[in-house]
Chains A and B, each alone.
Chain A
Amino acid sequence: ETGVTQSPTHLIKTRGQQVTLRCSSQSGHNTVSWYQQALGQGPQFIFQYYREEENGRGNFPPRFSGLQFPNYSSELNVNALELDDSALYLCASSLVGPTDTQYFGPGTRLTVL
């Protein structure tokens, strides 16, 4: 186990709703990255937070937003859900530095109906 936890495990929402996913990073890690993994695909980078600031963003619309808290835990918020948002959402934590690896949590599977 990596020590990265995510909640909830599964979630079902309807189109147009809003959702919040949560991630607790591994102890001592101050960077959290979020990825979206559609079925049968590799994970796609959504954004990264470092010391409570957004530190890079992938090709996702503004309705995907996030927060990082002083304890380095993080939230991913998605507004106006679309059917294509159905995916596994993975959170990864890491220490910032040239030798650091991203360690992933178990993911949250979101289904949008």
Chain B
Amino acid sequence: AQKVTQAQTEISVVEKEDVTLDCVYETRDTTYYLFWYKQPPSGELVFLIRRNSFDEQNEISGRYSWNFQKSTSSFNFTITASQVVDSAVYFCALSGFNSGNTPLVFGKGTRLSVIA
């Protein structure tokens, strides 16, 4: 069975601080995808990144960066120089290789509050 654990329920930081959101996953599949989604108060899940299990290179996109470590089954997300607009619930998710028709398994989410 697949499982995603986001141990941090809520995080509060002051604007401009860096913050890392943790994600640990379990799967028996040798091939899989990992995702991060952002859910602002409006409710819509906004896609941030997809990573396949073959690619352990870290990725940076502006103030966002992701650290995938297969050895520890972790896929952590760092926001550098946080801003108030980053306040949201962030979900880590896992799916089988054919991500178009296999379900996403989500963690419970981490609520990030960035205080001005």
* Contact pattern, A 38-54, Cβ under 8 Å of B = 1, otherwise 0: 00111111001010000
Q: Restricting to B24-66, which residues have a CB under 8 Å from any CB of A?
A: 35, 37, 42-47, 50
Pick from B37, B50, B100: contact of A97, CB below 8 A: B100
Contacts of B102 in A (CB 8 A): 56
Distance between Cα atoms of A98 and B97 in the complex (Å): 6
**Interface residue tally on B, bucketed by range:** 20 to 34
Given known A42-B107, A43-B106, contact A103–B47 (CB-CB < 8 A): yes
Q: Which residue of A lies closest to B98 (CB)?
A: A98
**A 31-69 contacts with B by CB, 8 A:** 31, 33, 35, 40-45, 48, 50, 55-56, 58
Report, as a range, how many residues of chain A touch the other chain.
20 to 34
Flag if A106 contacts B42 (CB, 8 Å). Answer: yes
Contact residues in A for B97 (Cβ distance below 8 Å): 98
Query: Quick check: A101 and B47 within 8 Å, CB to CB?
Result: yes
If A41-B108, A42-B91, A104-B37 touch, whether A31 touches B101 (CB-CB below 8 Å) is yes
Most buried by B among A101, A102, A104: A102
For B91, list chain A residues within 8 Å (CB).
42-43
Which of A43, A48, A56, A88 has the most B CB atoms < 10 Å from its CB? Answer: A43
Complex Cα gap A88–B108 (Å): 14
Per the 8 Å Cβ criterion, residues 13-44 of A in contact with B are: 31, 33, 35, 40-44
B residues bordering A, Cβ < 8 Å? Answer: 4, 35, 37, 42-47, 50, 91, 93, 97-109
**A contact residues vs B (CB 8 Å cutoff):** 2, 31, 33, 35, 40-45, 48, 50, 55-56, 58, 88, 90, 92, 94-107, 109
Supplied contacts A48-B101, A55-B101, 7 more A-B pairs, CB within 8 Å: A42-B108, A43-B106, A50-B101, A58-B103, A95-B100, A96-B98, A102-B100
**12 A-B residue pairs with CB within 8 Å:** A33-B104, A41-B108, A42-B4, A42-B107, A42-B108, A43-B104, A48-B101, A92-B45, A97-B98, A101-B99, A102-B99, A107-B44
